[in-house]
Amino acid sequence: MSEYLPEAVRKGLEDARKAALRRSSRLCVHVGDEVYRINKMWDTGFSMDAEDAPHLRGQVEIYDGMRHVSRCLIVASTEESGEMLFEFKWNTPVSDRPALDYVQERDAPAGLLGFSF
């Protein structure tokens, strides 16, 4: 169907689709001091606009707005329909608390109340 649309209309529709992806996604990649917007993210990678995306490689940080989500090792894999696709070599979620070095009981109390007499 898109073969029958004028070039200006096709370009307008593509620009509108890209703008909607940018608005709906708060995810971004931080590489040093540089920040790049992520269009889509899935289990094994993510995509960015090919125009804005450098050929990233190596360790990057992924943020959802101001929240640090994960630390990843990535490689640029392919370019498809105006988007650069990146694959994770490893993807480690970031926790907001330190790792436990003991087994936590399921029925452990949430806290202890002190009594003063």
> How confident is the model over 1-41, as pLDDT tens digits?
556 778 888 888 777 776 665 555 688 888 888 888 888 88
Output the CA–CA distances (angstroms, integers) from residue 55 to 6, 21, 76, 86, in the order listed: 32, 20, 6, 9
pLDDT of residue 89: 93
CATH number of 26-93: 2.40.10.430
Of the candidates 14, 35, 11, 39, the one whose C-alpha atom is nearest the C-alpha of residue 24 is 39
Residue 46, Cα to own-chain centre: how many angstroms?
Answer: 7
Q: Rounded distance, CA 108 to CA 117, Å?
A: 26
Rounded to the nearest 5 percent, the helix, strand and coil shares of the chain are 20, 45, 40
Q: Give the global pTM.
A: 0.64
Model confidence band, residue 90 (pLDDT cutoffs 50, 70, 90): very high
Where do the domains of the chain lie?
A: 26-93
Instruction: Give kind and range of the element (H or E) at residue 66.
Output: none
pLDDT of residue 21: 58
